[in-house]
A and B are shown apart, each in its own frame.
Chain A
Amino acid sequence: MTARFDKLGVVIAAIVAYAALLAPFAMFRANRIVPGQARSMIEALPPALGPLLLAIVIVGGIVALLKTPLLVRLAASIVALVALAILIGTAGSFLTPAGNTFARIAPASGFWLLVFAFTLLLADVLTRLNLSPWSRVGVLVLAALAIAALLVSGSWDSLSILKEYASRADSFWAEASKHVTLALGSLAGAVIVGIPLGILCHRVERLRAGVLNVLNVIQTIPSIALFGLLIAPLGWVALHVPGAAAIGIRGIGTAPAFVALFLYSLLPVVANTVVGLAGVPRAANDAARGMGMTDRQRLFDVEFPLAFPVILTGIRIVLVQNIGLATIAALIGGGGFGVFVFQGVGQTAMDLVLLGALPTVALAFAAAIILDAIIEMTATRRRVVETA
């Protein structure tokens, strides 16, 4: 009997059953900050569509529960996710009273749980399919295009998160570009300084422990404190160094956030460079020396290419971490998606929190998948080189 059930499917089916039958699908609020009233899936959708969605998710749950072929599971999870994504928008316009601009319709726990359950199913299928790095990036691009299409088509416009967006469209993109600039710029700085520093630490053993210890201690300073502590020195620089203020160095704002993110980024980059170089096989170095390569040639042609996947792993850690940490920059006027998160927390407007949090999570997630794919590709290439 048990052999016919998929173990993970039991968990997924249980979540689906609870979310579809007991949890609220959408939340109706008379305005953006009052407590909401729950609406079940049947109540939230027009007469024909409610039972249709219910049928789709129940079939999806059954497909997950039984031992079914991978492609069937893949199809079931995608159909369920697409149906959920389209119909939550329908629920938004269906529940909004005609002409009412204050009412807010937000997806409720049932919706999020269903999305979670079918994403879990999809993730399980994709893991078992063992996709190549390129196809994983392809799946990511497809998912991003699907979400973009839904956003552009306007089918989500009646949902509360997009109503928050509509009233801040300009500042949203300004904060988005600040967020990305902060995360990528500090990463670029850390790579430019960190890799040579790592090479130096690798070559000069006396430096290694000292540098790594200092960087370790920096990591222990809580982010909001480090952001705050940099206000004073940068303010002093802006006042006393000619030209510094002109290029945007100021006590509050982007400059301290940038420096703090840069400092946090150094440890993973330096440490991974050191580990990567230390892991270069002795034989490779000996062969290079035997061929009469100079130190510089050995570094660029042998050591560095071999250490590259490990260094990339450090860069991945930094990028994902920076995208998350950049939200905190908002506390010191540095901008980024954190602006919406903290405004939302301050006004207890959760839709506004989501407006800041969801893009941050999506960015971090996309960065992780893309860099993982790149790391895997360089690592395979390296293996090919080693066996050749």
Chain B
Amino acid sequence: MKAWLPALLRLAVLVLLVGFITNPSWFEPLLKPLTENGAPAIYNQGSLLTLTLQHLWIVLVATVAATIVAVALAILVTRPAGTEFLPLSRSLVNIGQTFPPVAVLALAVPAVGFGEKPTLIALFLYGLLPIFENALTALTTLPGNVMEAARGAGMTGWQRLMKVELPLSAPVILGGIRLSVVIGLATATIGSTVAAKTLGEVIIAGLISNNLAFVLQGGLIVAALAVLIYDALSAIERYAARRMGQGAE
């Protein structure tokens, strides 16, 4: 495979994606064979563009909140004052990951009602775990000689954190963020079962009316978004790792 082929492929996916969500009617002939009894081939109960933007917005808000909380918690339990919480926080992360997204979503409804809020809560909780886990791994496996040198150079605890520990951990933390974004993009579609306005609405409308064209377009938009965002975040991660002199992996 030539080196430019993957880049070209990504560009093609991006162009197709943007074309589809801005001008879905262009693609109608392609999807028409999947419908039965003259059902509409393109989702007609809302604009795909608006739904895509709302989908991305929910994931963005949840991921930013999850990143702030997860990294802050990881910093807290790796400081001398918080070491008592370290073993427990590890077990909690382990336990937390066993909660199925649908359960989190459904259980949040009685507390906050239907709509976007339960989806945000589920995405936030789900996003916390991979970021926290990665941040914890990164902060507890920093090379001892570097930390020694920082201490020897007379850096205060705060300086060490901001200038040494966090920058060195950045690539691994970014890896956690990437995981949680991809999980979030998929989980946000399930949010439509509790009436959140996301692309899941399109898929569920298709499942209810037995319209395969809806299921396909909803699923493909989310999958394309996930692949593109995953790639973009991987690239940022590699860049961060190179800057930290950890080689291109």
Contacts and interface: CB of A to CB of B under 8 A. Distances in A.
Interface of A: 6-8, 120, 123-124, 126-128, 217, 219-226, 228-229, 231-232, 320, 323-325, 327-328, 331-332, 338, 341-342, 344-345, 348, 350, 353-354, 356-357, 360-361, 364-365, 367-368, 372
A6 B194 CA distance: 40
A159 to B, nearest CB: 15
Interface string B203-221: 1101100001001101110
Nearest to B100: A324
A225 B223 contact: yes
In this complex, the interface size class of chain B, counting residues with CB under 8 Å from chain A, is 35 or more
Contact of B98 (A7, A123, A350, A364): A364
A361 B222 contact: no
A124 B95 CA distance: 12
A320 B200 CA distance: 23
B215 A228 contact: yes
B50 interface: no
B103 interface: yes
A360 B103 contact: yes
Contacts of B98: 320, 324, 361, 364-365, 367-368
B106 interface: yes
Given A124-B88, A220-B223, A222-B222, A228 B99 contact: no
A103 to B, nearest CB: 18
A229 B103 contact: no
Given A225-B203, A350-B110, 4 more contacts: A123-B88, A222-B203, A225-B219, A361-B103
Which 5 pairs show the lowest CB-CB distances between chains A and B?
A: A225-B219, A324-B100, A228-B215, A220-B226, A357-B103
A111 B82 CA distance: 28
A337 to B, nearest CB: 9
Contacts of B94: 368, 372
Given A124-B88, A224-B200, A354 B107 contact: yes
B189 A127 contact: no
Contacts of A353: 106-107, 109-110
Given A8-B84, A232-B34, A365-B95, A360 B185 contact: no
